[in-house]
Structure 1
């Protein structure tokens, strides 16, 4: 007797398990350890069953990145929309990025820290990959034009702000020998400190 077809919820659940295990394998064992057989074994599927969900390892990675990028952008869009004041929006966007990274460190490592051999250059060229960064840059540019942040290239200011949070989160998820305490609070403190350094003193605000 043929097995009953899986429901959409069951299919989605298995798909999510596949993607989560992919991120975990790369984060713990490196990209070289990733194979369709390794993924199938980790979640209790046969290789043949796994191929019904994804035809190749690259398709698994594409799906993982696509889902992660969509989630990150949704968080940042929501935070951007929640604030009228540019500087508040910038702080909120940076916090949303830190929250996204810390919610799933394995996926964060796969997205941003495992491209040392250029494995994911093709994925990183996807325009959507930079959507969240560009939203932050747009807010930074508005803040500079409004005189809330120092006059400087918006791209440089964005890199300083994003890099401060990214650096804290990266250290926290890769360096186990140091106790960073509450990483989200530390990342927020880094963002606030950088924002204060870039802000124009109230007495000189136009």
Structure 2
């Protein structure tokens, strides 16, 4: 906290006039990072020409964000002590929904793709598959565990090409 305050040019106690604890400061930073991810994903989705392009663009935006802002990404997804969601909800109210907005962009992209392709799939499942696949790829890279012959850029390129085919494979038809 002292180094943060020093960086901001304020006293070490100043942040506590606005936040009840260090966890509250971290949560606000976490929510702001999620908002930046959401904005990045929405921009990618908005310029896409087709639902297929949007699906791929949203996925690429997710990975791109993580690679450009790894500290934000770690803050967003790594475990931390303030994991009591009842307390988080009580303390942060509706603003906590910012944490889920990027997930909803992902779900919207999958749903629009499935509707355009007339796929009989569980979009929630497909969105979870995509979200967890992207997250796993990024986490392996950030933890330096993606060490068996492929760089994340290679893996992400191939993965992006296969996303539409993979989601089509979930079809019940």
1:143 to 113, 124, 127: 113
For residue 52 of structure 1, report the CA deviation from its aligned partner. 5.6
Structure 2 contact 37–65 (Cα < 8 Å) conserved:
yes
Aligned residues between the structures: 163
Structure 1 contact 80–89 (Cα < 8 Å) conserved:
yes
- In 1: Cα distance, 2:12 partner to 2:43 partner: 39
Match of 2:29 in 1: 64
1:111 to 72, 76, 84: 76
1:162 to 103, 121, 131: 131
Q: TM-score, normalised by structure 1?
A: 0.65
CA RMSD of aligned residues (A): 3.0
Q: Which moved more, 1:151-160 or 1:49-58?
A: 49-58
- In 2: Cα distance, 1:181 partner to 1:54 partner: 43
Structure 1 contact 87–143 (Cα < 8 Å) conserved:
yes
Residue 92 (1) aligns with residue 57 (2) = yes
- In 1: Cα distance, 2:84 partner to 2:147 partner: 29
Residue 78 (1) aligns with residue 47 (2) = no
Change (3 A) 1:177 1:194: closer
- In 2: Cα distance, 1:129 partner to 1:42 partner: 26
Change (3 A) 1:86 1:62: same
1:65-117 alpha-carbon deviations (Å, 9 max, x no partner):
222122111111111110131111010001111111111212211211224x5
1:167-186 alpha-carbon deviations (Å, 9 max, x no partner):
11000001358266542442
Structure 1 contact 165–191 (Cα < 8 Å) conserved:
no
1:109-164 alpha-carbon deviations (Å, 9 max, x no partner):
1211224x56363279821211121122122112212226x421001111112222
> In terms of Rg, which structure is larger?
1
Q: TM-score, normalised by structure 2?
A: 0.76
